[in-house]
Amino acid sequence: MIKRLAAIALLAVLQPLLALALYQGAFEAYRQMAGSIRRDISYGLQLQHSLYVFAALALGNAIWLTSGRSRRSGLIGTGICLSLWTLYWANIFASMPLRSVLVVSVGVLVLLLPAVLLQRRF
C-alpha cells in the first residue's frame, strides 16, 4: 500500500513538472525561430488555469495506472485523461492553432509516457 501511494505521488508530481519543462523549452525554441509572439490575455489565463487542470489529470492518471487491475483499464484511464486535456483546449484551437497544438501535444506526450513505460515493464 505504501509503495503504491509513493508511486502515485511520484507520478503525480513528475508529470506536471515534465510538462512544464517541455512546454517552456518548446516555446522558447519557437520564439527564437518565429520571433515575437502575440500576447493574448485569454490564452494566458487559460494556460495558468491549465496547470491546475493538468495536475488533477496527472493525479487521476497516476491513480488509474497504479491501481488498475489490467493493462486495458490503465489505457482506458489514460485515454480519458487525454480526451479531457484535449477538450479543455478545444476553444482556443481556432484563434491560436500553433500554440494550442503545442500545449495539447506536450500534455498528451507527458500523460501517455507512464502508460507506455508501464506497458513495457510487464
Task: Report the alpha-carbon distance of residue 9 to residue 28 in Å, rounded.
Answer: 29
pLDDT tens per residue, range 78-108: 999 999 999 999 988 888 888 889 999 999 9
User: To which residue does cell 523549452 refer?
Assistant: 25
Interatomic CA distance for residues 39 and 44, integer angstroms:
8
Return the H-helix or E-strand segment holding 67: helix 41-67
pLDDT at 84: 96
Place of cell 480526451: 83
pTM: 0.86
Report the pLDDT value the prediction gives residue 122, as an integer from 0 to 100: 53
**E strands in the chain:** none
CA angle, 37 then 56 then 111, to 5°:
70
Q: Which of 47-51, 69-73, 85-89 has the highest mean pLDDT?
A: 85-89
